């Protein structure tokens, strides 16, 4: 059984898990404060015969305090989140040396187009494989997402990466895997009858393994 976030396998896991934990601590404090306060009041101030409640319409100072504290916290949280957001999804966040792979989603499969030997998409040596995403470890990957029919969503939990794939739009998303292994791509946007089985796999290789795989796959594709 799993009680925490999935294993970490990309560079995004650091900031995202850290932010998650930070928010968990902040909200945890607020949660305990409120719930303990409520229970305390429930016990302490339950009705007793002959007692009258304390007649007050409020206290401006207290209200200012509990307006200001959440406000400051939220502003700080917003600034920190935005810092990472710009790094992860911002317009210029995609590293210049990112390795391109085309991902085309359709009901209900993923078609991955690899750049072939020249490392560029849209050239003659591109080849396409269904439902298998092979990437080298430790190198930024940019997936160029397109959709055939409806909206799908590209999601790899271990990478903490998600991007909707929208028909009529060319969207790029990037990530950098850190741990070699096999992971799953899920469609996380309801895309019709077969949404639940629109699954693919990600294989993270070391650079040498990747090069070897690429050579072989390109050869198979050209046959």
Partner 1 sequence: MTSVAATAHGAHAHHDDRSFVQKYIFSTDHKIIGIQFLFVSLFFLLVGGLLAMQMRWQLGFPGKPMPGGGVLPETMAPGGVILPEYYIQLVTMHGTFMVFFAIMPLLVGVFANFLIPLKIGTHDMAFPRINMWSFWTFFIGGLVMLSSLFVPDGAARAGWTMYAPLSARHDYSGASLGQELWSVSIIFVGLSSILGSLNYITTIINNRAPGMTWFRMPLSVWSLFITAILGLLALPVLSGAAIMLLFDQIIGTHFFDPAAGGQALLWQHLFWFFGHPEVYILILPAMGMVSDIIANGSRKPIFGYHSMVFAIVAIAFLGWIVWGHHMFVSGMNPTLGSSFMVSTLVIAVPSAVKTFNWMGTMWRGNLRFHVPMLHAVAFVAMFVIGGLSGIFMAATPVDMFIHDTYFIVAHLHYVLFGGSLFALFGAITYWYPKMFGRMMSEPWGKVHFWLTFLFYNCTFFPMHITGMAGEMRRLYDPNQYTFLQPLQPIRVFISISAFLLFATQVIFFVNFWWSLWKGKQAPQNPWEDNGLEWSLPSPAPHGNWEKVPTVYRGPYEFSSPQSTEDYLPQYKKLPTDREPARAPVAGH
Least CB distance to partner 1 at residue 159 (A): 9
- Cβ neighbors of 87 (< 8 A, separation 6 or more) are 15, 93
DSSP-assigned letter for residue 29: H
Closest by alpha carbon to 19, among 71, 82, 81, 69? 81
Least CB distance to partner 1 at residue 91 (A): 6
CB of 42 or CB of 96, closer to partner 1: 42
How far apart are the C-alpha atoms of 127 and 122, rounded to whole Å? Answer: 10
User: Quick one: tokens of 192?
Assistant: 């019709």
Least CB distance to partner 1 at residue 37 (A): 5
How far apart are the C-alpha atoms of 102 and 100, rounded to whole Å? Answer: 7
CB of 173 or CB of 214, closer to partner 1: 173
CB of 114 or CB of 154, closer to partner 1: 154
The residues that bridge with 132 in the sheet, in sequence order, are 201
CB of 134 or CB of 160, closer to partner 1: 160
Least CB distance to partner 1 at residue 53 (A): 4
């Amino acid at each position: 059984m799993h009680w925490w976030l999935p294993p970490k396998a990309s560079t995004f896991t650091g900031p995202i898990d850290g932010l998650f934990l930070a928010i968990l601590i902040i909200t945890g404090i607020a949660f305990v404060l409120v719930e303990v306060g409520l229970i305390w009041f429930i016990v302490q101030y339950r009705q007793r015969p002959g007692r009258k409640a304390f007649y007050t319409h409020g206290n401006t100072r207290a209200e200012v305090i509990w307006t200001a504290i959440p406000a400051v916290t939220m502003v700080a949280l917003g600034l920190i989140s935005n810092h990472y957001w710009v790094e992860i999804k911002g317009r210029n966040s995609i590293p210049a040396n990112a390795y391109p792979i085309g991902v085309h989603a359709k009901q209900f499969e993923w078609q991955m187009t690899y750049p072939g030997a020249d490392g560029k998409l849209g050239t003659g040596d591109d080849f396409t494989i269904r439902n298998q995403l092979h990437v080298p470890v430790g190198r930024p990957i940019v997936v160029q997402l397109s959709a055939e029919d409806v909206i799908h969503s590209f999601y790899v939990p271990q990478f903490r990466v998600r991007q909707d794939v929208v028909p009529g739009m060319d969207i790029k998303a990037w990530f950098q895997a850190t741990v070699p292994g096999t992971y799953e791509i899920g469609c996380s946007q309801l895309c019709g009858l077969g949404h639940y089985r629109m699954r693919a796999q990600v294989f993270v290789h070391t650079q040498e393994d990747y090069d070897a795989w690429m050579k072989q796959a390109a050869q198979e594709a050209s046959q």
